Amino acid sequence: MMIPTQVATLGLILMLYSIQSAVPGLKLMDTFWPIILPSICSPVCYFYLKQYMESVLPTEVIEASRVDGASEIGIFHRMVLPMIKPAIAVQFIFAFVSSWNNYFLPAMILTSHGNYTLPILIAQLKASDPSTFDFGQVYCLMTIAVMPLIAVYFIFSRSIIKGLTSGAVKG
């Protein structure tokens, strides 16, 4: 977790090239999958979910479910998932925002202009010729880039608020 993602990017790109050369039909470069997957299964996400489960999820509930005859998958779906839904929502928001705003990794992986992400397009507009530079285009792209972030936050903030208030005791 202490290693910045920019340091690990070289290893990721070398791994993608070696996988792509070993499996010729599998195209990993110039696709969105190498950008999306590392943010979903990052060590930070795993660490925070583990810490949240240790603090919120009592082992007595899981043991009682086992005694009652529930399967492990049933315990996970009926007992654990509803209890950790706020943590999953928070980690989804963090992963989505970091992946959506990422400039470095997409600039290294994506080569075709049709696959460029919005941060790359905004940077290209800012680096254009100063005599033809138009702030209107940049602001328009920034507005388009912010809209999905706001929508994801509002959708998942309900889950976070429900999780925080569900265990509250009126005093």
The reported pTM is 0.76
Distance of CA 25 to the CA centre of its chain: 27
**For the segment 75-104, what is each residue's pLDDT rounded down to a tens digit?**
999 989 988 888 888 888 888 888 888 889
**For the segment 103-121, what is each residue's pLDDT rounded down to a tens digit?**
898 999 998 988 899 889 8
Residue 107 domain flag:
yes
Q: Give yes or no for a contact between 110 and 30, defined as CB atoms under 8 angstroms apart.
A: yes
Residue 98 domain flag:
yes
Residue 46 domain flag:
no
Structure tokens at 31: 């696709």
Domain count along the chain: 1
DSSP 16-29: HHHHHHHSTT---T
| Structural domain of 123 | 5-41+86-165
What is the CB neighbour count within 10 angstroms for residue 90?
Answer: 19
